[in-house]
Amino acid sequence: MQKQTIADVNLVDKRVLLRVDYNVQFDDSGAILDDHRLKESIPTIRALKEQGARIVICSHRGRPNGVVVEELRNAPVASHLSALLGEEVLSLDDAIGPPVSAVVDSMKPGDIVLLENVRFYPGEETNDPGFARALSELADVFVSDAFGTAHRAHASVVGVGFYLPAVSGLLMQKELDYLNQVTESIERPFGIILGGGKVSEKLRILGHLADKADVICVGGGIANTFLQGQGIDVGDSLVEESRIDDALSLMRIASGRKDLKLVLPTDVVISDSSGGVVSTVSVNRIPPGFRILDLGRQTLEDIREALRPMRTIVWNGPVGLFERSPFDTGSIELAKILADSVAATTVVGGGETAAAVAKAGVADRLSHVSTGGGASLKMLEGTLLPGVEVLLDKE
């Protein structure tokens, strides 16, 4: 079912509570480390301004656990957003209460304020009805653009939707359109790339999408479990022993389907415990005391060839220890492979995978890079998101 958007409601001179995901970090100099999420919210903010709405933005930052943490205040976010928009975004010292209501009541059409970090309030993460009602009293309409938190049943994500008409913003709409396209309306051939560390997380994706896939490429820590399941000695590499049977089951399914190709590593980049010795070896020649930290060149070429005919490609999870050079090479090269797949719709899950794409500098050459790691993972698993379910359905 499609959800109503800001195009489906009258917002002229309406107070709009706009939930965004501005969970960003700043360095010691006060510079923002990554403003991708802020930039992605700007089309919705501008569309609301064009409709003459009074825009009350709310977001969380970090995990303050219901208490005020000075370094997690939203004031620096408001300052950076002001610079991006080229106009003032007023930062408030609270998220609810009479002083906040007074400021909101004095707003003119097109004005923008940013509430204080909603996770400073214990009622946010418990989805407390009292806190949700207090937030809802600041607005006439709730607009959700926080796809990155849509899998959380929190007060500012779900609770306010029980007190206000709730619709999606442009970013939320874009996220849902692309992720529905690659889970429900797939153009085949369809390729899936899975990385990261936990097989258990990826098995749910495979359970939902494997029967629709033509190619499944496995890398990162989860590939070690598949290799060990084949009887390959992976040295000191991370392995989920309890998931070896699941990996073997998937390999049996793949071998029984002539139309499904499973690509596993044939060569890998390894290092010893000190990190001082780095080399590329066949998966059958991993010395004792070494561990797999990235994909080798031949494996990347195998993935490139397997993905060449694909019309839809989904990637979730880096294929190496991409936070550390030189073990970021595989993920960076994989991002470039997707960027070169111009005939395919390419969709990348958020979180670490999005960070790898940013590191490769090819985000603008992919169809969609999600702003939500956990939320995109849940959608790829086929799980309903509470922050989406609360939005009004289109008739």
98 shares its domain with 187: no
Comparison of pLDDT for 64 and 34, the residue scoring more:
64
233 shares its domain with 257: yes
121 shares its domain with 238: no
Give the total number of structural domains in the chain.
2
Q: What is residue 321's predicted lDDT score, i.e. its pLDDT?
A: 92
Residue 21 pLDDT > 90: yes
Q: What is residue 187's predicted lDDT score, i.e. its pLDDT?
A: 93
Q: Averaged over 30-59, what is the pLDDT?
A: 95
Specify the CATH number for the domain of residue 119: 3.40.50.1260
| Domain end position, chosen among 137, 171, 205 | 171
Q: What is residue 17's predicted lDDT score, i.e. its pLDDT?
A: 98
Q: Averaged over 100-129, what is the pLDDT?
A: 98
Q: Which domain holds residue 361?
A: 182-381
12 shares its domain with 32: yes
124 shares its domain with 206: no
3-state SS, residue 288: coil
Residue 374 lies in a domain: yes
Q: Averaged over 114-136, what is the pLDDT?
A: 98
Residue 128 lies in a domain: yes
208 shares its domain with 146: no
Q: What is residue 120's predicted lDDT score, i.e. its pLDDT?
A: 98
Q: What is residue 141's predicted lDDT score, i.e. its pLDDT?
A: 98
Q: What is residue 1's predicted lDDT score, i.e. its pLDDT?
A: 62
Residue 261 pLDDT > 70: yes
What per-residue string of b and e applies to 350-365 under the rule 16 or more CB within 10 Å gives b? bbbbbbbbebbebbeb
Q: What is residue 71's predicted lDDT score, i.e. its pLDDT?
A: 95
Check if the beta carbon of residue 167 is closer than 8 Å to that of residue 142. yes
Residue 57 pLDDT > 90: yes
Distance between CA 185 and CA 113 in Å, rounded? 38
Query: Whole-model pTM?
Result: 0.89
Residue 387 lies in a domain: no
Comparison of pLDDT for 139 and 206, the residue scoring more:
139
113 shares its domain with 220: no
Residue 56 pLDDT > 80: yes
End-to-end CA distance of the chain: 9
User: Among 70, 76, 35, 41, which Cα is nearest to 55's?
Assistant: 41
254 shares its domain with 362: yes
What's the pLDDT band for 131 if we cut at 50, 70, 90? very high
Residues annotated catalytic, as ranges: 37, 198, 351, 374
Summarised one tens digit per residue, pLDDT across range 308-335 is 999 999 999 999 998 899 999 999 999 9
Residue 1 lies in a domain: no
Which residues neighbour 105 within 8 Å (Cβ) at sequence distance 6 or greater?
none
* Average pLDDT value for the chain: 94
| Domain end position, chosen among 113, 148, 171 | 171
